[in-house]
Every structure is written in C-alpha cells, then in structure tokens.
A and B are shown apart, each in its own frame.
Chain A
C-alpha cells in the first residue's frame, strides 16, 4: 500500500473514531463533496467526484498538542486520456502532529509544507522550531521530499530535504533571516542552496531583498531587491529589481548546459480614491540576453458601487521577446443577503506566440457565473458554470457543484 494511502487511512480513522478524541481535544472537521463535469483540454469528457477532508484537533488552551490533516480522494468517470482514470486516486496534502514542548520550543512531525528562503518542500519529516535564543530563532526541517505529478506521487527512496533557517525574532521593523537547504535525489546531492531575506520598515519606506545562491552551480540563481513607499494612507509605490539564473538539479543533464540570465525592473503604483475605488498600474521591463526584451503593462481598478457589491477589473499588455499578449478581466461579487451570494466574471486574451507561423492573433474567452448558498452555519452549497471559447473549442462548458460541511 502506498504511503499516501496509509496516511489517508490514519486521517479517516481520526474521522470515524473521533468520539474518544473529541473528549480530549477541541476539534473541527471540514468536508467538501464535489462533482465536476465538462470536456478536458483534448475534448474528452470528464466526470469527477472528489471528496476533501480537513481535520484539526487541538488541546486548545490547556495543552500544546494539535493534529492537522488535509487530503482528497477522487475518481474520474469520464473517458479522458489526459489524466489517469483507471482507479480511485488519493492525495494527502498534509498530516502532522504539532507539539509545543515549551513556550520556546515546538516540533511538527508528519507530512507538512515547509518554506525557507533557500528552498521549500512538501515533506514527510520533522520540523523543530526554537523560537528564541537571545535575538534569534532557529528552525530545522528534514524528511522525505514529496513530489506530486498530475495524478499521483512519484517520490522515491533517497529523495530527501534538509534545511536550516536562522532568523531575528521580535525585533520591530526588521526582518532578517538566512537559510541553508539540501535536497537529495536518490541519495545524490541534487541541490545545495543558501538563502537570505530582509525587510526593514522606516516610517513610510520599506526596503526589502531576497537572495538565493546555488552552491553547486556557484551562481546567484534568484535575487530580488525592492523598495516600497507609502507616503500617504492611500498611496503605495513600489520599485523592484529581479534577477533569475536557471539552475537545475545536479542529477539532471540540464545542469551541465550553458544558460542565460533573466532580469526584470518593476514600477508600480496603487492609489485609493476618496470614493470606494482603488486603482493601480505597473510596468515591468523584462530583459533577456542578446538585447532581447519585453515590456509588460498592467492597469486595474477595484470598485465598491454598493456595500454588498465588489467589482474588480484589470487590463494587461505584453509585447516583445517570447510573444505578445493583451487581455482583460472583469469580475464581481454580490451578497444578495446573509445566505446567498453570487459572483460572475469574464476574461479575454488576444495573443501571438513566437512559434505562430501566421500573422493573425488568436484569442481566448472565458465567462463564468456561480453562487453560494449558506444552508446553515455549518453547511453551504456552491454551484459554478463556465464557458470557454478559444482556438480549440467553439464552446467548452464546465461545471461544478460542491457541498461543504463543518462539524
């Protein structure tokens, strides 16, 4: 039996035998039963039933122990060839025990998502968090590196993640941390990265930076340096420089190939008017080597015409190396009353990829509408339908119904 199913079984055991547990723990179960239908991207039919379950058990204020789990099983009754449909599939997103040994020391054991500036992983393992030693905190994480493919898991023996993060704690206005990560692929060292993150807040100015250094390729594979300015309560300005240099696992043949760096320069402003309207705009200059560039513009607005109605709009345009695209999106959320809310939206893109051998642009449209009915405080019903019109489909309708319950 695969590891993911064992963990899913444990989660379900908690679910079915929760009476005893509930006496010792505060608990919350969230369930969502969903049916999704419509054609896939190749035009084959799909009919998917999914069951989600999220579990939270905790000792509340009386103790330092909690258990959290989240997973999904699904079956596809359609005849799609794009996805695997031969059996019921399962995916365990996380299932971990969180134990606070002392106020300053805690551990997490099980499948969990961990994110350091040097790298992240969904892993089956242990995280040890020392909250405070003087002005610093230390977090260590290590375990089996879990990787999902489209329909299954392809983690293998010898795929491991280990990381260490040292950071300043509880120092007002200053965020500073450094981390070190190693990833193993079938016991060989696939990645060795150093990471650093920094942010400082001084009145209305906030400089920030994030750097990743690949020790195997001896290259700064990612760096961001930026400055946020908010001179008044209704204006945010941002300028940012981003650098990326593609690196690969050392176990991949691509790690030995020459590559080019990518850089971008971003400028952005967001302004809230006196009316309930916020507008924003940004410009990004993207640069590739050999003097090849692209320009990317985004403008948008958020309105609140009524207290119960929110409308979002955005328009973007990209032109240059790698293809041209312009498009817009508009969507709205309306609360009819305490129990019923509606939402709808439209998206349009006109694009020309560099590999197109003809001059004309292609276009893609998506229209959708949905609603949520709060049946009770602990249950709700969601219905959503959408239509896609594009190069490959005159109409491609998709729909879903979801019944959500908490107890």
Chain B
C-alpha cells in the first residue's frame, strides 16, 4: 500500500510542478506548411522540433500522446496507409507489393534483406503485421529448404545415429527416449545452435510454424525427447498464464 501511495504522491507533484496551463495549439492552419518551416519556428520558440530524419522510428511517442495534434494535418488514413498497406494518393517514392504499398523502410529487395532488418528489433515487424498469420501467408508458399535458416541446415533429422548408420528422420518421436533416456543428448553442435537462435529471435520461428507444432516434437512433455523449453523463472509466471487461457496452451504438451 505504501508503494502505491508514493506513486500517487509523485504523480501529484508532477502535476503541481507544471506551472503553466495552456490549450493545445491548433495546427490546422499550418497543415500545408513545409516541415523545415515548422521546425525553424518550433526551435526558435523553445518547442521541440519533430518530423526530423528519425521521425519514422520516433513518431509513436507523439502518437501515444492524448490529446495530440496529428489530426490537425492527417486523417486516420495517413496512419493506416503505412501500417496496413493502403494507398490513396500515396507518395511517389513508395513501392508496392501486390496491391499493398510498402513504407520507405522496405528498401530495395526487401524479400531478401528483411531477415537482417528484422534483427534490428524483431518487434518492429509486428507494429504493422500480425505475428501469427501475415508472415506465414507468404512463408507457407516457399519450400522450407529454400528458406535456408541457419539451424535448419544442421537439422538433426539428417544426422546419422552412428557413422554409416540410419538417419534420425527414420525414427518416430516415441523412440527418442530409447537412445536418449532422461532427454540426454550428446553435445553435438545442432542442439545448442538452434536453442541460441530460437531464444534470440523466437518470432522468426513463428513465421513458418505459426502453431509451433514442430517444436513439440522434442519439447512436449508427452512424447519425443521431452526437453523442457520453459524459462528459468517459469515457476513465477506459469500460474498467471495458465489461468489466462484456462490451460488451453498447457494441455498441448501436458
């Protein structure tokens, strides 16, 4: 209770310390002005300049503000044209993917370079695209071997059980424990490489395996190797997740 009281006091102090109360400036009359002219006026009047060269990355801080000035110059279509691919009266600079317009961040051959761009914070993709389905709509149309994901090129399926022996792909998941009791694996490169890759960019797994079925071949508690995939603090968070979905996710493995 003391903690919440402190937060409330800080909140009130912040309000009290704001000395001047002014109405938000109506910018409708400036809507046709060049950005460079806006900012020269802003800076001279001690107002923070915006719409600068980093605006695409930073505009969300201003859009979250309530109330904001965005609608003085922009309709909601301005937001959705970038976030949802619309294109009424779009900028000549923008290219298209089918009927959808792509923002300028999708430069040159975005199909080939997007795996690198997605590493600059994978969350940035999901500000516009639905994590479960948008990526898979396209990825599902490619052959997995063409996608050449690092860990997939060292798939355990192709590893031979022993030199000259049968490959792992010839066995069923029910047979894993026969050779790997208690989920023990030899220290081969693949198991640690795929784990490191998945932990760093689990969202990329979801782009081809939206329901995660392939993960459960080894990570289910029922069959296969039964490797525990949970984070270290799982005990602290599992109850909340379990209650939220009425155990719907849990029963896939347990």
Contact = CB atoms under 8 A, between A and B. Distances in A.
B72 interface: no
Contact of B211 (A137, A210, A253, A347): A253
B249 A253 contact: yes
Nearest to A284: B120
Interface residues of B, number: 106
A107 B45 CA distance: 34
Given A70-B88, A177-B66, A253-B215, A258 B232 contact: yes
Contacts of B46: 201, 203-204
Contacts, number: 351
Interface stretch (A1-9, A10-18, A19-27, A108-116): A108-116
Interface stretch (B134-142, B157-165, B169-177, B183-191): B134-142
Interface of A is mostly: strand
Interface residues of A, number: 157
A327 interface: yes
A380 B88 CA distance: 12
B86 A70 contact: yes
A48 B101 CA distance: 13
A253 B216 contact: yes
A47 B148 CA distance: 31
Which of B46, B111, B119 counts the most chain A CB atoms within 10 A?
Answer: B119
Contacts of B246: 188
A289 interface: yes
Interface in B39-67: 40, 43-44, 46-49, 52-54, 60-61, 63-67
Contact of A48 (B52, B64, B99): B99
A217 B130 contact: no
B98 to A, nearest CB: 5
Contacts of A259: 199-200, 202, 231
B18 A169 contact: no
B89 A216 contact: no
Given A52-B88, A233-B44, A255-B241, 19 more contacts: A54-B77, A68-B76, A70-B86, A72-B86, A189-B244, A197-B64, A204-B46, A218-B237, A230-B49, A244-B122, A253-B252, A257-B219, A289-B200, A292-B200, A318-B116, A322-B119, A343-B93, A348-B108, A365-B108
For the complex of A and B, 3 pairs with smallest distance between CB atoms: A322-B119, A364-B109, A323-B116
14 contacts: A52-B87, A70-B76, A70-B80, A93-B80, A122-B80, A168-B18, A189-B245, A233-B43, A251-B245, A253-B249, A296-B120, A364-B112, A382-B92, A392-B111
